[in-house]
Chains A and B, each alone.
Chain A
Amino acid sequence: MTTLVLVSHPQLADSTSQQFLKESLPGEGIIWEHIEGQATLDVAKEQEQLRHADRIILQFPLYWYAAPAGLKQWEDTVLTRTFVYGDHRYPLAGKELGIVVTTGMPEQAFQRGGAEDMTLDAALAPLAALTHRAKMTWLPIFPIYQFGYLEEPEKLQLVIDYQRYLTQKQPDSLTNRQDWFAHRLSAMVDQLPAEQQTAGKLIANVFDQNREHLDQLTDTLAMIKEQEDD
């Protein structure tokens, strides 16, 4: 799976949250681009990247209930009518579109009656409409509230939640989460120094056993329910 991460930020180097996210990127399957970092937008190249990606992530800070101007300019330049739907070919159909948005206000501000009196879903409705128009699948928004106030445990959690948002199969169910971790575990164990390998392998084994046990329980339960229906 290829994920295209399009970052819009007028001063990327000054943004600690954006630098943090860049450092957190998964090792493979990612194409990362800073929109404002392009001298000029190469429309053909941008469109080709979109065609090539399975999941497209728009990542930006929330400025006045919207993305920065750079992203709008990118949309207006790259997402031409002909490209998105004009010739009835819909090259983006079936792809997933996700939003990673950072905010200066806390989570509780983004609700009716909250300080912003608006949900993020409502603020970003134009991007959802665009997703719909292009016959893409809208992923639940990945918000990062007040990055500057996060403590280390929250930042550690953010690294993996972000990686999963970029690369894990949706929806974010336990089954899909387990699959994501299982897929990475052996590589993570392999890169451990020799003296930690045993512990790593043991952990991976128990994780797999837990997973199988859950599958069995689910099957048993399905069987019981089936009999009850008879």
Chain B
Amino acid sequence: MTEQSAWLRQQIDQLANQQSKFTDRAFWLALKRVVAEQDRRSEQLGGEVDGRTWRPDRW
């Protein structure tokens, strides 16, 4: 997890904790999950881009 995403998740947690309505809290916490998913996917895609660009046979 990058520093920025750790920071973002912390911000979302704080905001979620300030919500008195259960369904509002649920929204922000669920958003946090999607952000975590974005991070994971971004890391995987970035890795794939690197892997596919690294082609010693084309040097």
- Which residue numbers of A lie inside 8 Å of B, CB to CB? 23-24, 153, 156-157, 159-161, 174, 177-178, 181, 184-185, 188, 191-192, 196, 199-200, 202-203, 206-207, 210-211, 213-214, 217-218, 220-221, 224-225, 228
Contact = CB atoms under 8 A, between A and B. Distances in A.
Given A160-B27, A228-B52, A199 B45 contact: no
B49 A160 contact: no
A203 B26 contact: no
A181 B31 contact: yes
B4 A206 contact: yes
A202 B15 CA distance: 11
B26 A210 contact: no
A189 to B, nearest CB: 10
A177 B34 contact: yes
8 contacts: A153-B29, A157-B26, A177-B34, A185-B31, A203-B15, A206-B8, A217-B46, A224-B52
A92 to B, nearest CB: 30
A21 to B, nearest CB: 12
Contacts of B8: 203, 206
Given A210-B42, A218-B45, A221-B45, A160 B37 contact: no
Contact of A157 (B12, B30, B48): B30
